[in-house]
Amino acid sequence: MGSAGARPTLFLRNATGLVKAWSTFDAFVYSFWSVNLITLGLYGMSFAYTVPNGQLLAAILIFGLLTTFLVGTYAMLVSVMPRTGGDYAWQSRVLGGGLGFVLSITGWWFTLFLWAPIYANILVVQFFSPLAYTLGWTNVATFFTSQNGIFVSCLIVLAFVSVVVTLGMEVYARIQKICFWIGLVGLAVTCALLLFASQSDFQNAFNREATSLFGAPANAYQATIDAASKTFSGQDFGYFAFGPIFLLLPWLAFYLLWPNWGATLYGEVRGAKDIRKPFWSMFWGLWVTVALVALVMILIVKTMGWNFYQSANAAYWNNLFAVQGAVAPPVPIWPYPVMFAGWLVDNHLFQALLILVMGLWFFGWAGTLFLSSTRVIFAAAFDRVLPAWAANISAKRRVPYGSLILMIVPSVVISAVYAYRPTFTSVFLDATAVLALTFFATVVAAIILPWRRKDLYDASPIARYKIAGVPLITVVGVITGLFLLFMLYQWSFNGDNLYGTSFQKTPNSVYYFLATYIVAVVIYVSARIYRSRQGIDLRRIHHEIPVE
Amino acid sequence: MPRVFFATDLHGSEMCWRKFLNAAKFYDADVLICGGDMTGKAMIPIVEENGHYTVTIASERQVVGGDQVADIENQIRRKGYYPLHVTPARLQELDQDADVRKATFQQIMLDGVRRWMNMAAEKLRGSGVRIFVCPGNDDEMEVDDVVRESDMVELGEGRMVEIDGFTMISTGWSNHTPWNTHREETEEKLGERIEAMARQVSDQSRAIFNLHCPPFRSGLDEAPAIDADLKLLHGGRALRPVGSTAVKEAIEKHQPLLSLHGHIHESKGAVKLGKTLSINPGSAYEEGMLMAAIINLDAKKGIKSYQLVNG
């Protein structure tokens, strides 16, 4: 029985499905993983050196603030349409079936092919390479930098993701929780090492291990800064200029734009009708990460030195991308702050253990790579846009082999392109932008929802939230939309090609993404024609039946 | 050949029932089938006191005048709840006496079903459209009697009916659930119930099994995992198959042309189980959206086409 004060306000009877709400903490863990501080976070922020005078801490806080509006928009959409949640369903029901299919399928299906090699690269630079070097397995480490090694790492990621899908979400959710707690312990140890060491302690440790593990000459710390100085003018953490802060936002999107990653799943949750649960789970997932990343940044500044850390990033990436004038750094691997922190303890076994423990941030997170994709493919198959076999599930082990094939096979091809055709690198840099475009379409759907689907909106709990008479979802959606539009503009048209994705400088990515949108349109139009011959009108899937 | 419109698990949502009735004209359907769980799960008291009315909907307390009560009632019905007019004294009695509460709930629920039957008669009498209702495990047994009183809506439960050359058998009974609802039984008994009807069907290639509970491990039966305290596990992300093995065995044994299911709202889908097309259109009754399946039957092909819609 519900009650307000002493009086009951609701009488329930015994009926199926009357469950107690899900734990906000459980959903928080999922959201927290989606904006993964270690894997995506450290990787994405290692490109921040490309923005001269960009104040990273301020940019992170601004990004957190703006992404809160995205969280609000998605939480309200979940609240209006909980059972059929997810970008595909929202876009289809508000913008129309065709537009919904094209925009969401390009983001949640075609673009996620690109994320498999990105995940693989993160696995290599944060796990295989540092672990192998620490244990003295130089051959293993160098193998993963070869083209075959890159391809093998992609296959490892795809195999891992397939195993997770086969195990099922219930088993993986348990694994995630274990990884979450042990990973947090690893992070606490890393932070403690950085907190209690001085900058000279770090310089000594860095110089010692650079020589011990990589055979670098003495004073590798200074040599790293010197190597970067050929192509990088250095950075001062305390410098503050407003413009460059905003230019950092598209880089931060690489990891901080995804607290809503689980929104495609909330539709299955009865508690989602209550706006507070999805909002707070996504909100805390975002802001706990923001707080932790701020802490890690400050500790890096204190102990490693900001100019050194940014120089290490610049030296590594500029050398890898063969920027004119770049020279190889003395420590020729990606500057992994966890590995560097581990060097503060002069014990290779401890260092390896720390890398292993922090690797759980990858293994607790990467398994859900295709989870949302399979849901979108299922939804499109049930709508008869894709063939029925796309939603097939094996009888014995409950493996969604249809959607898995549709994800894995193209991902293997794309991974091969990534490994063996370096000229296509810019395509992979666009992986964030295309998902942002999908989010933008969902945000547009949210903005016009109160008018376009008045029936749904008026019946929802958010109908009472207004600002100056304007529906709150519209106000929040407009702010989110402007934020996303700014980043989309920068990715597409930044004159300096800051993100490696400007249309004028990267024709390969333009062709690739145009091709994906064309393929999506072709699939939809073909399905419309084919189903029409079967007597099925795809346009009526989302047509509302009159009530009166 | 008949075009069948199948929806299920409306759970008292009057908006969905109205859409269900209007679907005949909207989709040009010949047969409407409501697969079960018609009745609502909650009643919301509207407390009359000193000439005004107090009600709490979605955690929001409202005090309204008499002219707004009809609108409030519509809001409540749209969500699948029952409005209940009470005085403060009656509210207290309902709060304290479980038997009175149960009897009141049953009365208001049966009145609701009767109201729906009358709406069906008003809307579709003389249209030639056949309407079948088969109460589900959440519907009390007395619901059947109210449906039987209707001269427009046909009761499906336990019957074998002919639909333009196709044969449909129906039951709203399910295997046991954690909620111990009204039509639950062991898999063995459920199997016997289905078998008693299925063996009378002469041509399974033209048979429709309208069984509220979906087949076990079919992909149509995946519900969020809960613990013993009915709390959702792992943020609601973990799903478990909860369908019936008896239903699965019946489908595997008889291989009907089509099987229609509901019960698990989250598990929308259409799968082939051998020769049988099995459909669970899902349910989003709280949103006022009618999730449904349209099946075009054909004398030669059996199923000419099908489509899941969100009307």
Chain A residue numbers touching B21 (CB-CB < 8 A): none
B207 and B111 belong to one structural domain? yes
The answer to whether residues A345 and A351 touch, using CB atoms and an 8 Å cutoff, is yes
Strand order in the sheet with B269-273: B160-163, B166-171, B207-211, B258-260, B276-280, B269-273
In angstroms, the CA A382 to CA A82 distance is 18
The answer to whether residues B214 and B278 touch, using CB atoms and an 8 Å cutoff, is yes
Q: Which residue of B has its CA nearest to A267?
A: B266
The answer to whether residues A112 and A312 touch, using CB atoms and an 8 Å cutoff, is no
Sign of torsion over alpha carbons A86, B78, A541, A398: positive
* Selection from A168, A261, A372 nearest residue B225 by Cα: A168
Side chain identity at residue A247, one-letter code:
L
The answer to whether residues A265 and A372 touch, using CB atoms and an 8 Å cutoff, is yes
Start-to-end Cα distance in chain B: 23
Q: Which residue of B has its CA nearest to A385?
A: B307
Q: Which residue of B has its CA nearest to A383?
A: B308
Burial class (CB in 10 A: 0-12, 13-18, 19+), B155: buried
Q: Decide if B19 and A378 are in contact by the 8 Å CB cutoff.
A: no
Token digits for B53? 């009315």
Q: Give the rounded percent of residues in chain B with a pLDDT score beyond 90.
A: 76
B121 and B242 belong to one structural domain? yes
Contact with chain B for residue A9, Cβ under 8 A: yes
Residues making up chain A, counted from first to last: 548
B33 and B47 belong to one structural domain? no
Q: Decide if B181 and A393 are in contact by the 8 Å CB cutoff.
A: no
Burial class (CB in 10 A: 0-12, 13-18, 19+), A7: middle
In angstroms, the CA A187 to CA A190 distance is 5
Q: Which CATH number is A366's domain given?
A: 1.20.1740.10
B150 and B191 belong to one structural domain? yes
In angstroms, the CA A394 to CA A389 distance is 11
In angstroms, the CA A227 to CA A468 distance is 57
Point out the residue among B95, B179, B225 whose CB comes nearest to the CB of A15. Answer: B179
Q: Which CATH number is B170's domain given?
A: 3.60.21.10
In angstroms, the CA A399 to CA A292 distance is 36
B149 and B123 belong to one structural domain? yes
The verdict on residue A381 lying in a domain is yes
The verdict on residue A7 lying in a domain is no
Question: Within A46-198, where are the H helices?
Answer: 56-80, 87-95, 97-105, 112-123, 129-134, 138-143, 147-167, 169-196
B13 and B60 belong to one structural domain? no
Min Cα separation B273/chain A (Å)? 9
B193 and B284 belong to one structural domain? yes
The verdict on residue B220 lying in a domain is yes
The DSSP secondary-structure symbol of B231 reads B
Summarize pLDDT for B204-247 with one digit per residue, the tens.
Answer: 999 999 999 999 999 899 888 888 777 777 767 778 889 999 99
Q: Whole-model pTM above 0.90? A: no
Summarize pLDDT for B114-164 with one digit per residue, the tens.
Answer: 999 999 999 999 999 999 999 999 999 999 999 999 999 999 999 999 999
Q: Decide if B23 and A391 are in contact by the 8 Å CB cutoff.
A: no
Burial class (CB in 10 A: 0-12, 13-18, 19+), A88: buried
Higher-confidence residue of B180 and A315: namely: A315
Min Cα separation A69/chain B (Å)? 22
- Count the domains in chain B: 2
Is pLDDT above 70 for B270? yes
The verdict on residue B96 lying in a domain is no
The answer to whether residues B215 and B270 touch, using CB atoms and an 8 Å cutoff, is no
Chain A residue numbers touching B91 (CB-CB < 8 A): 7-8
Point out the residue among B91, B270, B311 whose CB comes nearest to the CB of A543. Answer: B311
B52 and B20 belong to one structural domain? no
Angstrom distances, CA of residue A209 to CA of A189, A319, A459:
19, 21, 63
Q: Which CATH number is B57's domain given?
A: 3.40.1170
The verdict on residue B263 lying in a domain is yes
B70 and B183 belong to one structural domain? no
Give strand ranges (E) for B141-254.
153-155, 160-163, 166-171, 207-211, 222-224, 239-241
Contact with chain B for residue A6, Cβ under 8 A: no
Range of the domain at B84: 43-91
The DSSP secondary-structure symbol of B157 reads T
* Selection from A147, A148, A175, A180 nearest residue A163 by Cα: A175
Summarize pLDDT for B63-107 with one digit per residue, the tens.
Answer: 999 899 998 998 888 888 999 999 999 999 999 999 999 999 999
Summarize pLDDT for B22-33 with one digit per residue, the tens.
Answer: 999 999 999 999
Please name the residue that has the structure tokens 């949750």.
A269
Label the pairing between strands B3-7 and B291-298.
antiparallel
| Reduced DSSP (H G I as helix, E B as strand, rest coil) percent helix, strand, coil of chain A, to 5 | 75, 5, 25
CB atoms within 10 A of CB B103: 12
The verdict on residue B100 lying in a domain is no
Range of the domain at A189: 28-542
Angstrom distances, CA of residue B164 to CA of A249, B130, B132, B207:
63, 11, 14, 11
Q: Decide if B23 and A534 are in contact by the 8 Å CB cutoff.
A: no
Q: Decide if A10 and B238 are in contact by the 8 Å CB cutoff.
A: no
Q: What are phi and psi of A73, to 5 degrees?
A: -60, -50
Point out the residue among A16, A267, A281 whose CB comes nearest to the CB of B179. Answer: A16
> For helices A242-256 and A276-299, what crossing angle results, to 10°?
120
Token digits for B277? 């097309």
Q: Which residue of B has its CA nearest to A263?
A: B237
Most B CBs within 10 Å: which of A14, A16, A24, A449, as the mutation test of the B interface?
A16
- Count the domains in chain A: 1
Per-residue pLDDT of chain A (548 residues; tens, 9 = 90+): 554 456 788 888 877 766 666 677 877 888 898 899 999 999 999 999 999 888 999 999 999 999 999 999 999 998 888 765 688 888 988 998 899 999 988 988 898 889 999 999 999 999 999 999 999 999 999 999 999 999 999 999 999 999 988 887 788 888 888 999 999 999 999 999 999 999 999 999 999 999 999 999 999 999 999 999 999 988 888 887 888 999 999 999 999 999 988 765 555 444 455 678 789 889 999 999 999 999 999 999 999 999 999 999 999 999 998 889 999 999 999 999 999 999 999 999 999 999 999 999 999 999 878 887 888 888 889 889 999 889 888 777 778 889 999 999 999 999 999 999 887 777 888 889 989 999 999 999 999 999 998 888 887 888 889 999 999 999 999 999 999 999 999 999 998 888 888 888 888 888 888 899 999 999 999 999 999 988 888 888 878 888 87
Min Cα separation B3/chain A (Å)? 11
Q: Decide if B43 and A11 are in contact by the 8 Å CB cutoff.
A: yes
Report DSSP letters for A96-115, one per residue.
-HHHHHHHHHIIIIITHHHH
B180 and B208 belong to one structural domain? yes
B135 and B47 belong to one structural domain? no
Predicted ipTM of the assembly: 0.86
Chain A residue numbers touching B224 (CB-CB < 8 A): 19, 22, 268-270
The verdict on residue B98 lying in a domain is no
Contact with chain B for residue A20, Cβ under 8 A: yes
The answer to whether residues A100 and A93 touch, using CB atoms and an 8 Å cutoff, is yes
Q: Decide if B234 and A21 are in contact by the 8 Å CB cutoff.
A: no
Point out the residue among B79, B268, B309 whose CB comes nearest to the CB of A540. Answer: B309
The verdict on residue B153 lying in a domain is yes
Min Cα separation B23/chain A (Å)? 6
Point out the residue among B55, B180, B232 whose CB comes nearest to the CB of A14. Answer: B180
Q: Decide if B238 and A169 are in contact by the 8 Å CB cutoff.
A: yes
Most A CBs within 10 Å: which of B91, B231, B232, B291, as the mutation test of the A interface?
B232
Q: Which residue of A has its CA nearest to B105?
A: A13
Which residues 457-496 in chain A show a CB within 8 A of chain B? 459-461, 464
Mean pLDDT score, B55-68:
85
The answer to whether residues B41 and B11 touch, using CB atoms and an 8 Å cutoff, is yes
B33 and B53 belong to one structural domain? no
Please name the residue that has the structure tokens 């130089």.
A138
The verdict on residue B162 lying in a domain is yes
Q: Which residue of B has its CA nearest to A372?
A: B237
Chain B residue numbers touching A30 (CB-CB < 8 A): 235, 237
Q: Decide if A170 and B271 are in contact by the 8 Å CB cutoff.
A: no
The verdict on residue A8 lying in a domain is no
In angstroms, the CA A447 to CA A470 distance is 10
Contact with chain B for residue A272, Cβ under 8 A: yes
